[in-house]
Amino acid sequence: MKKIVSVLLATLFVCSLFGCSANAGSERFSGTVYDAFDTVTTVTVYDSDKESFEKHLSAFEERLKHYDMLYSIYDDVDDLVNLREINEKAGSAPVEADGEIISLLSFGKECYKLTDGAVNICMGSVLSLWHEAREVSINTPEKAYTPEAAKLKDAALHTDINNLIIDEEKSTVFFKDGAMKLDVGAIAKGYAADRLAQYIKDNSIWESYAISIGGNVITSGYKNGDGSSKWNIEIENPDASSGKALEVLSVSGQAVVTSGDYQRFFTVNGKNYCHIIDPKTLMPAESFSGVSIVTDRGSALADALSTALFILPFDEGKRLVDSLERTEAVWVSKSFEKTYSQGFEDYIKQ
Ligand code: AMP
Ligand code: MG
Cα–Cα distance, 334 to 318 (Å, whole number) = 17
Q: Counting Cβ atoms within 10 Å, is residue 349 exposed (0-12), middle (13-18) or buried (19+)?
A: middle
Rounded to two decimals, the pTM is 0.93
pLDDT tens string for the chain (350 positions)?
Answer: 343 433 334 444 443 333 334 676 688 999 999 999 999 999 999 999 999 999 999 999 999 999 999 999 999 999 999 999 999 999 999 999 999 999 999 999 999 999 999 999 999 999 999 999 999 999 999 999 999 999 999 999 999 999 999 999 999 999 999 999 999 999 999 999 999 999 999 999 999 999 999 989 999 999 876 677 999 999 999 999 999 999 999 999 999 999 999 999 999 999 999 999 999 999 999 999 999 999 999 999 999 999 999 999 999 999 999 999 999 999 999 999 999 999 999 999 98
For position 99, what pLDDT does the model report?
Answer: 97
The finding on whether 261 has its CB within 6 A of some atom of ligand 1 is no
Q: Report the nearest-CA residue for atom 2 of ligand 1.
A: 259
- For ligand 1, say whether the CB of 115 is within 6 Å of any of its atoms: no
Among 29, 33, 40, 100, which Cα is nearest to 61's?
Answer: 33
Nearest-CA residue for ligand 1 atom 11 is 185
* Per-residue model confidence (pLDDT) at position 22: 60
3-class secondary structure, 293: strand
Residues whose beta carbons lie less than 5 angstroms from ion ligand 2: 186, 303, 306-307
Cβ–ligand 1 contact at 303 (below 6 Å): yes
Q: Which helix or strand (DSSP H or E) is residue 58 part of?
A: helix 50-70
Q: Is the CB of 12 under 6 A from ligand 1?
A: no
d(CA 335, CA 289): 8
pLDDT of residue 223: 87
251-286 b/e (C-beta count within 10 Å ≥ 16 → b): bbebbbbbbbbbbbbbeeeeeebbbbbebeebebbb
